[in-house]
Chain A
Amino acid sequence: MTATPHRPAGGVFDVAVIGGGIVGAAIARELSGCDVSVALLEARDDVGDGTSKANTAILHTGFDAKPGTLESRLVARGYHLLSAYAKATGIPVEHTGAVLVAWNGEELRALPGLKEKAEANGYEHCRIVDADEVYRILPDLADGALGGLTVPDESIICTWTTNLALATDAQQRGTTVLLQHAVTGIDEGPESTTLRTSSGDVRARWVVNAAGLGADHIDRLFGHDRFTVTPRRGELFVFDKLARPMVDKIVLPVPTSRGKGVLISPTIYGNVMLGPTAEDLTDRTDTSTSEDGFDFLLRKGEGLMPRLLAEEVTASYAGLRAAIDHPDYLIEATPQQRYLLVGGIRSTGLTAGIAIAEHVRTLLEEAGLNLRSRGDLPEPPRMPNIGEAAQRPYQDADLIARDPAYGTIVCFCERVTEGEIRDACHAPLPARDLEGLRRRTRAMNGRCQGFFCGAAVTALREEHHDHDGRDSRQHKDNR
């Protein structure tokens, strides 16, 4: 029998990927499909706990990307790769389509150009529609729309499950997932690089920097000075599920130079989202929401769909995008350092993640890392369905008959069952705290925000936590 490829030889991994977001997890998964040992380092308690958890969760066709850019190419390819991967793993996706709505003459005149841009990006399905058609598609839209551009393939997806699927897949392919490993220093040696982390040293021959908001800091630790990350805060409102019939499609503004603007979108969990704002900050940890942000969103919402504002707000949150002073994705290898940077991946990174991983693999091979595909890969994981479109456990009579825990609803608003909470606590990448549980099951994410279920969910998590043990990490032997 040959040695399993994921065991680091002499305590040195072949590749260390820094950052357990969607991009980092996708890269680790891709590389673990080859004959190398891979470590995925995440600073926080869970994968997907940074930028990847709080975005607009749209699976982009890439119709509005800047033609000819790396981003445009990878988003377009990522759309197809992630769509297929979602089918294989059960990541919830709804192909809702989108409508860009023009509210003034200038925006109306911009539509043909946007259609041409989409075509230049290889996306041929956009159609310019008149105001009547816009209101036929979106009867609850505010008065005054002049026309629109339809994007039939723009879709919504579960960003949490995407991240978890990729990281779980990576782990099952042999990646060692190292949580609570914030990289604080780097020692480059002739054969390997030592990453100093908050949980001890990790050594690897090659290092991939997919650290998102911290990517420029890591890059500087490698001695570079090529870009600065500006945390761009986006605040969002999530409206009650009872508003969902009003919003069947993603409602996009006509883009301006300031970014993509505020949109209204159905969510994969059956809610309606309004946002995001766009505000450049200096604090890379400031995910608070603000009065100004709320006021801005309510003003925008009033202009877009006043009826929506009469609905209850279920949740509000803020995410930080890693905006950089560079117009495109910044993906570059430095072969002499056995180092590769994946920087400036903005909101499109959710869609592009798997394509970025392919691209990274190619660059690493060109830089001299020998990557031979393995033939013995495990099947991709089947993820629990937390989307609203497909059958959920509480609706599955056969499943409940086999295991009554799936018939015991604990979180009423989101209809999360005891069986799902148990499973999430014992998953390959288990929920370690309530936040992790929320992202794996939707528990406590509903309109009552824990009024009914908060205490019960907390108790269940602790009951199951005892069996896993937060501190009995399976990677101890690899340190």
Chain B
Amino acid sequence: MTQQPSLITPDVLIIGAGPAGLTAAAELASRHGGRILAVDREPAAGGIPRHSDHTGYGLRDLHRVMSGPAYARHLVRRATAAGAEIRTHTMVTGWSDDHTVDVTGPEGRYRIRPQAIVLATGARERPRTARRVPGDRPHGVYTTGQLQNLVHLHHRPVGKRAVIVGGELVSWSAAVTLREAGCTPALMISRYPKAESYGVFNLAGRAVLRVPVATRSRVTRIIGKGRCQAVEIEHLDTGRRRTVACDTVVFTGDWIPDHELARTAGIALDPGTLGPLTDTALRTSRPGVYAAGNMLHPVDTADVAALDGRHVAHQVISYLQGMREHAEGVRLLADAPFRWVAPQILRPQDPAPPRGRLLLWSDQFVRFPKVAVRQDGRVIARRSLSWPAAPGRVFRVPSSVLEGVSPSGGPVHIGLERV
């Protein structure tokens, strides 16, 4: 006879042991004590940085700079040293009730019923299929995630000549990985008028990596039987098409949260981020279930995700101590050119969002953005920012722009001042 699955009951279950989850685990274990369990479906904890073998990690959370793998190891050590338990190869496969999850791992099939849950499942890049790119279905077509897995964790060869689709930060990361694997990044393709990501990185990218960028362009077809031979690209303004020979194509960026658990729980999602709708305390619509990291803002740098983890830990501790939210919130909405804003709910008495920043995603490059916050048809704040809004990276706005929000008013719109 099949036995009833066994049950474990930690104080907090953290689903996903990447930067956000591990930082939350470390913070909870050191400040709250109790049993803190972080689970991850991967063979090792650490998340995406494990296979991002380049420097630049740890700046905002640790105030130092290290490589992705070193950063991942550091976060794991810190969480473990603080007393958190980490189970890898352990996948939450669904919900058995509102606060109990079903789990599969090599040690068996079992259930976890914690007092509080932190969803920190991160985000993934949309693969070619989700971007609806037609053509042949040859080998050699990857996402950055798969490419870095292949090269850095499995030490596998890739092709000789690659086309990179997208011009986000991660796209340059893909270029670095390709170079390391002996594959020439022959062309980067961006639909924007200029390659996204940090200006400094652009310069460095062009100088050091020497990757030509086809702007205002999109991939219209993949060509090649067996192995990839070329892509067809189209200029968005002229409609002109040409083929670019390559044996490797990397689809980069275009992130979507891994929101399956949130969605199957019936937790409300934000239509912009597609991650859980959260308030500045990072509560989801289900009491006792929190969310942190790049599933809330797909996708920001690892250190920002980690700082979400620190922020959410404090909120979870308050919850464990019996604090519950009472007030209705005001909805924050992103106006064009912003695609989304995170978090999306502001309640009186709640803390400022992590790092005191609202995170937004811009579909347009604006060098000198003047942010305008409107409520009930009235501009309640204007703020000129000294950093540009650019596609392909998160745009940060100090949450102090929300100071004039009326808690009893209508939705708050965050957009740009019309010039």
Q: Which residues of A contact B (CB under 8 A)?
A: 242, 285, 287-291, 293-294, 312-317, 394-398, 400-401, 404-405, 407-409, 412, 415, 447-452, 454-456, 458-459
Report B's interface with A, CB cutoff 8 A: 2-3, 5, 41-43, 89, 91, 93, 104-110, 124-130, 132, 134-137, 142-143, 145-146, 149-150, 153-154, 156, 220-221, 225, 256, 260, 263-264
* Interface pair B154/A291, CB less than 8 Å apart: no
Contact between chains at A294 and B132 (CB < 8 Å)? yes
Q: Do A458 and B156 touch (CB < 8 A)?
A: yes
Name A316's contact: one of B134, B153, B154 (CB within 8 Å). B134
Please list the 3 inter-chain residue pairs (A to B) with the smallest Cβ-Cβ separation, ordered nearest first. Answer: A449-B127, A455-B149, A451-B145
Chain B min CB distance to A461 (Å):
12
Once the chains bind, are A404 and B109 in contact (CB under 8 Å)?
no
Q: Is the CB of A450 within 8 A of B129?
A: no
Contacts of A294 in B (CB 8 A): 132, 134
Cα distance, A448 to B5, chains bound together (Å):
29
Q: If the complex has contacts A316-B129, A316-B132, are A408 and B89 also in contact, measured as CB distance less than 8 A?
A: yes
- Supposing A291-B221, A450-B142 touch, asked if A409 and B41 sit within 8 A by C-beta, the answer is yes
CB of B130 within 8 A of CB of A314, answer yes
Partner of B126, one of A312, A315, A412: A312
Q: Is the CB of A454 within 8 A of B109?
A: no
Chain B residue contacts of A404, Cβ below 8 A: 106-107
Contact of A450 among B143, B156, B260 (CB under 8 A): B143
Q: Is the CB of A415 within 8 A of B91?
A: yes
Residues of B within 8 A of A409 (CB): 41, 89, 91, 93, 104
Q: Name the residue of chain A whose CB is nearest to the CB of B136.
A: A288
> Is the Cβ of B134 less than 8 Å from the Cβ of A313?
no
Given A288-B137, A409-B93, A456-B154, output 18 extra A-B contacts at Cβ < 8 Å: A289-B135, A293-B134, A313-B130, A314-B129, A394-B91, A394-B93, A397-B3, A401-B108, A404-B107, A407-B108, A409-B89, A448-B143, A449-B129, A449-B143, A450-B143, A452-B145, A454-B149, A455-B156
Contact of A451 among B89, B93, B109, B127 (CB under 8 A): B127
Q: Do the beta carbons of B150 and A451 come within 8 Å of each other?
A: no
- Whether A451 and B125, one on each chain, are in contact in the complex, defined by CB atoms closer than 8 angstroms, is yes
Which residue of chain B is the closest to A407 with respect to CB atoms? B106
Which residue from chain B places its CB closest to the CB of A291 in the assembled complex? B134
Q: Which of B130, B154, B220, B225 contacts A285 (CB 8 A)?
A: B225
User: Knowing A312-B256, A400-B109 touch, does A452 contact B135 (C-beta < 8 A)?
Assistant: no
Find chain B residues with CB under 8 A from A415 CB: 91, 93, 104
Q: Which secondary structure dominates where chain A touches chain B? A: mixed
Number of A-B contacts (CB under 8 A): 122
For B135, the chain A residues whose CB sits under 8 A away are 288-290
Decide: A397 and B109 in contact? CB cutoff 8 A. yes
- Indicate whether A289 sits within 8 Å of B134 (C-beta atoms), given known contacts A398-B2, A452-B42: yes
Give Cα A410 to B287, complex, Å. 31
Please tell me which one of the listed residues B132, B137, B221, B260 contacts residue A317 in the complex, with CB atoms under 8 A apart.
B137
* CB neighbours of B143 from chain A (8 A): 448-451
Interfacial chain A residues near B132, Cβ < 8 Å:
294, 313, 316
A451 to B42, CA, bound (A): 12
Q: CB-CB < 8 A to B220: which residues of A?
A: 291
Q: CA of A455 to CA of B129 in the docked complex: distance in angstroms?
A: 18
Contacts of B145 in A (CB 8 A): 448, 451-452
Cβ contact within 8 Å between B156 and A448: no
CA distance A396 to B93 in the complex (A): 12
Q: In the assembled complex, which residues on chain A have CB atoms less than 8 Å from the CB atom of B89? A: 408-409
Q: A294-B132, A397-B2, A407-B104 are in contact. Are A455 and B153 (CB under 8 A)?
A: yes
The answer to whether A451 touches B225 (Cβ under 8 A) is: no
Point out the residues of chain B lying under 8 angstroms from A451, CB to CB.
124-125, 127, 143, 145-146
Bound CA–CA A288/B43 (angstroms): 35
Q: How far is the CB of B121 from chain A (nearest CB, A)?
A: 10
Known contacts A242-B263, A395-B93, A409-B104; decide if A447 and B130 are in contact (CB<8 Å). Answer: yes
**Least CB distance, B153 to chain A, in whole angstroms:** 6
Q: List 6 A-B contacts (CB under 8 A).
A: A288-B136, A394-B109, A397-B108, A407-B108, A450-B142, A452-B42
The reply to whether B104 and A400 form a contact with Cβ atoms under 8 Å apart is yes
- In the assembled complex, the Cα of A408 lies from the Cα of B105 at a distance in Å of 6
Distance, CA A396 to CA B156, complexed state (A): 33
Chain B residues with Cβ below 8 Å from A293 are 134
Chain B: CB-nearest residue to A409: B91
Assembled-state Cα–Cα distance A459/B153 (Å): 10
A168 to B150, CA, bound (A): 33
Complex CA gap A447/B259 in Å reads 12
In the assembled complex, how far is the CB of residue B171 from the closest CB belonging to chain A, in whole angstroms?
15
Contacts of A458 in B (CB 8 A): 150, 154, 156
Alpha-carbon gap, A452 to B3, bound state (A): 32
Minimum C-beta distance from A451 to chain B (A): 4
Task: Give Cα A405 to B89, complex, Å.
Answer: 11
Q: Name the distance in Å between B293's Cβ and chain A's nearest Cβ.
A: 16
Q: How far is the CB of B33 from chain A (nearest CB, A)?
A: 30
Q: Does B142 lie within 8 Å of A454, measured CB to CB?
A: yes
Given the complex, which residues of B lie within 8 Å of A316, measured CB to CB? 129, 132, 134
Residues in B neighbouring A287, C-beta threshold 8 A: 136-137
Complex CA–CA separation, A288 to B156 (angstroms): 27
Q: Are B149 and A456 in contact (CB under 8 A)?
A: yes
Query: Is B129 a contact of A313 with CB atoms below 8 Å?
Result: yes
Q: Report the separation of the CA atoms of residues A405 and B106 in the bound assembly, to the nearest whole angstrom.
A: 7
Alpha-carbon gap, A459 to B125, bound state (A): 22
Residues of A within 8 A of B150 (CB): 454-455, 458
How many Å from the CB of B323 to the closest CB on chain A? Answer: 33
Residue of B nearest to A315 (CB): B129
Q: Cα distance A315–B130 when bound, in Å?
A: 7
User: B260 is contacted by which of A242, A394, A459 (Cβ under 8 Å)?
Assistant: A242
Contacts of A242 in B (CB 8 A): 260, 263-264
Q: CA–CA, A221 to B221, complex, Å?
A: 37
Q: Which residues of chain A are within 8 angstroms of B42 by Cβ–Cβ distance?
A: 452
With A314-B130, A451-B145 as contacts: A412 and B156 at CB distance below 8 Å: no
CB closest residue in chain B, given A289: B134
Q: Which of B93, B125, B129, B221 has the most CB of A within 10 A?
A: B129
Residue with the greatest number of chain B CB neighbours at <10 A, chosen from A285, A317, A415: A415
User: What is the distance, in angstroms, from A111's C-beta to the closest C-beta of chain B?
Assistant: 34
Task: State the CA gap A290–B137 with chains docked (Å).
Answer: 11
Q: Are A407 and B153 in contact (CB under 8 A)?
A: no
Complex Cα distance A458/B151, Å? Answer: 12
With A291-B134, A316-B132, A404-B106 already in contact, the answer to whether A397 and B124 are too (CB < 8 A) is: no
Give Cα A330–Cα B106 distance, bound, in whole angstroms.
52
**Cross-chain contact of B108 among A290, A400, A412, A450 (Cβ < 8 A):** A400
Complex contact B105–A454 (CB within 8 A): no
Cβ-defined contact, B124 with A448, below 8 A: yes
- A395 touching B134 in the complex, CB below 8 Å, given contacts A409-B41, A454-B149: no
Quote the shortest CB–CB distance from A355 to chain B (angstroms): 32
Q: Is A412 touching B107 in the complex (CB atoms < 8 A)?
A: no
A312 to B126, CA, bound (A): 9
